[in-house]
Amino acid sequence: MSATLLGVPLVFWAVVCFTIAAAYFYFWPRPSPKRLTPRTRWQHIVLRYFHALVWVLLGVGCLLGWLGLGDLGRWIALLAIPTYVVFLVYVVRDRNIELADAAARRRAPG
């Protein structure tokens, strides 16, 4: 594995990834205050932490590549793919629940 990606050093990409991870750690998809159905503990964990985890995995992969451990770094970075897929599935499910709750509120009398 090369020590650069698109001509930029991997250590720079790692810093970018960790910065994005920190941003997603602090700004995450919160449920609507009008939501009728609360999130389960697992839904909360996935929606709260998995997107940041994706960026951490990518950052660690970049750092390991920069340190010359390209194969291990590549495998760590590839773990970001299933992590992101799980996050996306939960985002879509959560959005559908919120839309269903909003529809139920509109249909409710009074």
Domain that holds residue 41: 4-107
* The two three-digit tokens of residue 77, written as one number: 């970075």
How confident is the model over 29-76, as pLDDT tens digits? 787 787 788 889 999 999 999 999 999 999 999 999 999 888 999 999
Average pLDDT over residues 12-34: 89
- C-alpha to C-alpha distance for 86 and 14, rounded to whole angstroms: 23
Which residues have C-beta within 8 Å of that of residue 2, sequence separation ≥ 6? 65
Q: Tell me the pTM.
A: 0.85
For 38, the 3-state DSSP assignment is coil
How many folded domains does the chain comprise?
Answer: 1
Residue 1, pLDDT score: 46
Inter-residue contact 53 to 24 (CB < 8 Å): no
